[in-house]
Amino acid sequence: MAVKLHRCSLMWARFGAHPCWRVQKALDEEGISYAVVKGPLRRSRREDLERLSGQRAYPVIEFEDGRVYRAESSEMAERIHSGKLSEAPGTQV
């Protein structure tokens, strides 16, 4: 399953508490293929993310079928580790 991970542009921020890194690390650990879509740091400049997901918070996972999944990063990482990412509730865009 190839997905897009919409995340902030702070790719160097690799510590457990950073929400974008937490989700990206979970995808890596589970061997899930993804493309990183880096976005603006400032919430006020995240119009594209809001059009996609209905909100301006990172991270967001976009599936090939057009569904978009957003939750707290710990919940997203837990779903990824449980092998149930494809069953994630998402909004259709």
Instruction: List, for residues 29-50, the tens digit of each pLDDT value.
Output: 999 999 999 999 899 999 999 9
> What is the per-residue pLDDT for 14?
63
Instruction: List, for residues 64-75, the tens digit of each pLDDT value.
Output: 999 999 999 999
Phi/psi at 43 (5° precision): -55, -35
User: What are the boundaries of each domain within the chain?
Assistant: 3-92
> What is the per-residue pLDDT for 15?
60
> What is the per-residue pLDDT for 77?
96
**Fold classification of 3-92 (topology level):** Glutaredoxin (3.40.30)
> What is the per-residue pLDDT for 17?
76
- CA pair distance 78, 64, nearest whole angstrom: 21
- pLDDT at residue 4 greater than cutoff 80: yes
When comparing pLDDT for 57 and 88, which is higher?
Answer: 57
- Reduced to 3 states, what is the DSSP secondary structure of residue 44? helix
